[in-house]
Amino acid sequence: MFKQKMLKLQLLSLLLLLLLGSFGCTNQMRPEKKVEDYFYQNLKKASGRKLEGTIIYPAGEEAPFKGLDIWLEVNAKEKNEIRLPVYTGQKVYRTLVLGQDETGFWLKHENKKADGTHAELSLYGGHTEDVTSPFMLYFTPDVYTTRLLGTDQRNWSLALSSDGSILSYIAEDDGRLLMQIDFDIKEPLPLAYTYGSKSEESPKLRKR
């Protein structure tokens, strides 16, 4: 009788261990959240607000837009697209368009003339190849961009600081830094603040 009780206890213990092991394996097999989702979702949280910017490079005498405020407007009204007009003063310098598709993320630079038509150099950009960091999206040029710019060495990055307070736009050519602008994403401001009235909104967001 004693041996039978001991055998039952051993079988119960073995069954419990198997169940625990199965539960652990199930947890390990659960797909983790994609690393790039962290970046995209954090940027979307700033939709409808402005981010104040600072030119990091070029600096000194070569720094562009001297005497002008630089800021970024975040418009994430579309499900798979975030529009990011970059303003110098009250003028749109260019609009960055960040999009998401089944293969990753893409970035376009939308440059327009005063009459609203596209400039000769417009809609260039690239696509992510392999997103390995939740803090950075790196874009290599697409075929259209390579033909338009005459080089396949241009690339761009959108990066978040490790504490999530700074959003950086970085442009490089063959490893050489061309431009870096840092935007304060930790303390975004209402768009109405930019235009001086709570009743006003960005011209880019007004319904036409």
Q: Give all domains of the chain, ordered by start, each with its CATH number.
A: 35-195 (2.40.128)
Phi-psi region of 48 (alpha: psi -120 to 50; beta: other; left: phi over 0): left
Check residue 132 and give its pLDDT. Answer: 83
**22-to-8, 14, 15, 18, 96 alpha-carbon distances in Å:** 21, 12, 11, 6, 47
Instruction: Round the average pLDDT of the chain to a whole number and report it.
Output: 81
Check residue 38 and give its pLDDT. Answer: 86
Check residue 26 and give its pLDDT. Answer: 38
Q: What percent of the chain is modeled with pLDDT above 70?
A: 75
Helix (H, G, I), strand (E, B) or coil at 79: coil
Of the two residues 105 and 207, the one the predictor is more confident about is: 105
Is the Cβ–Cβ distance between 141 and 124 less than 8 Å?
yes
Q: What is the mean pLDDT of residues 30-58?
A: 83
For residue 10 the two structure tokens come to 């051993």
Of the two residues 208 and 195, the one the predictor is more confident about is: 195
Check residue 36 and give its pLDDT. Answer: 63
Is the Cβ–Cβ distance between 72 and 86 less than 8 Å?
yes
Q: What is the mean pLDDT of residues 125-153?
A: 94
